[in-house]
Structure 1
Amino acid sequence: MGDDPRRDAARLRLVFAGLYFAEGAPMGFLWWALPVRLRAQGVEPAQVALLISWLVLPWAFKFLWAPLIDRVQHRRFGLSGWLLCAQSGMALTLLPLLLIDWREQYQLLVLLVLAHGVCAATQDAAVDSLAIRSVAPADRGTVNAFMQGGMLVARALFGGGALLVAATWSDDVLILAVVAVVALLMLFAVPVAHRLAGRPPATLEPSRVGEPQAREVALPSALGPTRGGYAAAWRAVLVQPSTWIGLLLATAVGGAFKGATALAGPFLLDQGASQEQIGSFFLLPVVASMIGGAALGGVLSDRAARRGSRLGLVAAAEATTILLVATIGALALTLAEAIPVLGFFALYVLLYVAIGAATSSAYALLMDATLPSLATTQFCLFMAGINLCEVWATRAAGWWIPSFGYGGAFLGLAGVSLLTLGLFVSLARGRLANR
């Protein structure tokens, strides 16, 4: 980039916001709009939850092929080659949705979204690796806020927006629009990623969660994949205590809000909201709330990092999400008929603000716990844990809803999250140094 640090920092933030926009467009349609459309067609909540869990599953296991992104890179294209292939796959796996009946060919729908998830998870891993290698540690909270903002705007337009215009625009038009966005941003991502890959890597070398002060890990430098290189990468990651502490945060603490938001559309629909109301909600209030929360969390996270108190901020934000999910669950269980649907909309707005703050601050904390030489593998493992959290939370909610209703399911998830949050904080405060 150029010689002006401030201008370079601004460009960097916009670059990653754009890359996450390409990721968020199909996520909006598949994660927000599709579940509501299926529920409106009579598909049971348990089946909707099952589809969501299959969609998220590749994200939970992308760490299995993440070392290939670290170890196998074209000498000319580097990470941009992975972005090109992944985003091409994202577009191609969406096109068959134009040709099938979603309800009648449900199993084929599941296979297609699963294939799309593999490509999207690979794209996400490459983008995260690029961020760790090119973003200065002091700017990571703010960059994460921009990344979340780009993704959320896209999810709003192609999730909430898709529901809002469903009466006038066919699903085929919306799918083609998503494909077009992914393809256009693919052309943008390749040259930009190529330039970023030429920058010196970030120098953060963490030893403890929230305390960036440890040694780097030396790995074989050969370009091609080898069994030794793959195994060495995993050994280097798994011997870090910060890996296991980070995984606890990633896989368990966010279960309450992951389950409550994955089923937000069907929940609100069953509380009496219309598809148009839900579409409007996802289009503006949800995204504005999460962007505002992410911006607040990013700024506070960077300030907390300078004081060595990022961990406390993450704990407070996560605790707030748990409290709000428990409140929604308790009201749905005991006073659902007395609470107007606008009351649940309001509670979800507060929840999304807290989620935005928790996400940007937690991602920055996890980046602090990531070694640059293992950027894709270790951080991808954390991100996979976050998505595994959504898989188990959504599946658990799907199992509990037929017996206990939405309220009982949300309260159960809140209880699990509260217990694991306490365990995470106690372990992280122990400052387990990397060996």
Structure 2
Amino acid sequence: MIQKNKRAWIWIPVLYFTQGLPFVLVVTVSVIMYKKLGISNADIGLYTSWLYLPWVIKPLWSPYVDIISTKRNWFLFMQLLVAIALLGVGLFLPTNIFFVTTLACFWMAAFASATNDVASDGYYMIGLTQDRQSFFVGIRSTFYKLANVTGQGLLVILAGFLENYYGDNTKAWSVTMIAAALLMFGLTLTNFFVTPKFESSDAIEKQKPAGFFEVFSTFFNKKGMGIALAFVLFFRFGESQLVKMSAPFFLDSTAKGGLGYSTSEVGYIYGTIGVIMLTIGGILGGILISKDGLKKWMLPMVLSINIPNAFYAFLAITNTTNKFAVISTVVLEQFGYGFGIAGFMVYLIYIAEGASKTSHYALATGFMALGMMLPGLVSGYIQEWLGYDGFFIWVVIGALPALLILKYLKYPADYGKKGAGSNE
């Protein structure tokens, strides 16, 4: 029998920080980078949204992560591959064909990162009891988002500083991406030393699926799966569009409806007080679910991830560039995201319960990624059509489908509550 919850306070923060960093670099920082290198909003929205695809189709190869080798071996190798891909981005940026070559490197990083997610999440679920999964979901979400803030905050601040230092955006971003690659190498090495080797247990072997196609049939035949997947697809419908256009909104001039902020200012806003509020929101969400169960907090968590979108609409409609108003908006967004995503991730763990939980969780998060990718694909075109004010109003309306579906979801009221289940 495996020793569940072993050294969880050490490996969960490091593992999920490592999971979050490549995602934010591929999906979000790439947007800022291409914007500063002169790529149009429409092209940014289209091409960077396609980078979501590996997270959408990762269930196609997730059974192999379940069946072949250990999840620890998988995530260590994938993390190394991400580091190599990011190094490629940094080295290709100064070339004349940088857009094609860096997109290719981002694709490589995206596939490796998506596979790393499958292995890391599987490792998390088999290594913790159910109540600890709920308790730590806030911690893992916080460190995942802290990685996002490191990428979107500290690394963007570095890029902005280097833009001013070199007077050359291309060189600045080249150095920044090389630095990101070195950070990823360091995180991979850290995970090698801090993650326990517990997957040789007979209990773990019994949880592996018998065959490739069994994974899919058992997932889609679960009761209520149609409504569950509809909720997963629409939960982040508004956010999936906002996350693509928030950076261009900050960086575009006021004449274009933006805020006219510099690269460094964008990095600073996301990398300071926003980090604190994100941490509070994520940890609080996990603690409350562990204390009261998922049912009590699901509606407040859905609202918390969507209400801050209205403040972006306010900034755009009123042309407000006041730093207090802008920073307050980001603070609310970060707290709301941390608090809200905790409930969503616990719900994904619930629908993945049973045999083949690693692959089933990959399927659930694949649908989540699809819900992020499809709206993101057209976000740039919608923004250019409606302007920033109309776009953010549309984003606010995007919360309605998830709220309507929420009342039809079926799950135990005390799911995730301490003492309600052990998952042994």
Q: Please, what TM-score do these two structures have when normalized by structure 1?
A: 0.82
- Distance in 2 between the 1:84 and 1:423 partners? 38
1:317 and 2:305 are equivalent in the alignment: no
Q: Which residue of 2 aligns with 1:107?
A: 100
Structure 1 segment 171-250 matched on structure 2, within 5 A:
171-190=173-192, 192-193=194-195, 195-198=197-200, 219-220=209-210, 229-250=211-232
Alpha-carbon shift at residue 278 of structure 1 (Å): 0.5
Query: Which deviates more from structure 2 when the two are superposed, residues 189-198 or residues 380-389?
Result: 189-198
Q: Which residue of 2 aligns with 1:283?
A: 271
Structure 1 segment 14-413 matched on structure 2, within 5 A:
14-73=10-69, 78-101=70-93, 104-166=97-159, 167-168=161-162, 170-190=172-192, 192-193=194-195, 195-198=197-200, 219-220=209-210, 229-270=211-252, 271-305=259-293, 310-332=294-316, 334-336=317-319, 338=320, 340-413=322-395
CA contact (8 A) 2:138 2:342 kept: yes
Q: Which residue of 2 aligns with 1:226?
A: none
Counterpart of 1:316 in structure 2: which amino acid? P
- Distance in 2 between the 1:300 and 1:350 partners? 19
Counterpart of 2:318 in structure 1: which amino acid? L
- Distance in 2 between the 1:123 and 1:2 partners? 22
Counterpart of 1:320 in structure 2: which amino acid? S
Q: Secondary structure of the equivalent of 2:39?
A: coil
CA contact (8 A) 1:79 1:193 kept: no
CA contact (8 A) 1:83 1:190 kept: no
Counterpart of 1:33 in structure 2: which amino acid? V
Alpha-carbon shift at residue 127 of structure 1 (Å): 0.4
Give per-residue Cα distances to partners, 1:257-307, cap 9 Å, x unaligned.
Answer: 2321332221111212111110111222332222211111111111122xx
Q: Secondary structure of the equivalent of 2:150?
A: helix
- Distance in 2 between the 1:388 and 1:287 partners? 27
Alpha-carbon shift at residue 234 of structure 1 (Å): 0.9
Counterpart of 1:113 in structure 2: which amino acid? F
Alpha-carbon shift at residue 390 of structure 1 (Å): 1.7
- Distance in 2 between the 1:322 and 1:404 partners? 20
Counterpart of 2:100 in structure 1: which amino acid? Q
Q: Secondary structure of the equivalent of 1:428?
A: coil
- Distance in 2 between the 1:181 and 1:99 partners? 16
Query: Which deviates more from structure 2 when the two are superposed, residues 296-305 or residues 153-162?
Result: 153-162
Alpha-carbon shift at residue 2 of structure 1 (Å): 11
Q: Percent identity over the alignment?
A: 19
Q: Please, what TM-score do these two structures have when normalized by structure 2?
A: 0.84
- Distance in 2 between the 1:372 and 1:13 partners? 25
Counterpart of 1:94 in structure 2: which amino acid? L
Query: Which deviates more from structure 2 when the two are superposed, residues 319-328 or residues 272-281?
Result: 319-328
Counterpart of 1:47 in structure 2: which amino acid? D
Q: Secondary structure of the equivalent of 1:195?
A: coil
- Unmatched 5+ stretches in structure 2: 166-171, 253-258, 414-424
- Distance in 1 between the 2:397 and 2:146 partners? 31
Alpha-carbon shift at residue 341 of structure 1 (Å): 5.0
Q: Secondary structure of the equivalent of 2:356?
A: helix
1:419 and 2:401 are equivalent in the alignment: yes
- Distance in 1 between the 2:74 and 2:266 partners? 35
- Distance in 2 between the 1:251 and 1:369 partners? 14
CA gap of 1:406–1:293, structure 2 versus 1, over 3 A, is same
- Distance in 2 between the 1:263 and 1:201 partners? 46
Q: Secondary structure of the equivalent of 1:99?
A: helix
Query: Which deviates more from structure 2 when the two are superposed, residues 421-430 or residues 46-55?
Result: 421-430
- Distance in 1 between the 2:410 and 2:390 partners? 30
Alpha-carbon shift at residue 359 of structure 1 (Å): 0.9
CA contact (8 A) 2:90 2:177 kept: yes
Q: Secondary structure of the equivalent of 1:426?
A: coil
Q: Which residue of 2 aligns with 1:209?
A: none
Give per-residue Cα distances to partners, 1:113-134, cap 9 Å, x unaligned.
Answer: 1121000000011000111111
CA gap of 1:396–1:157, structure 2 versus 1, over 3 A, is same
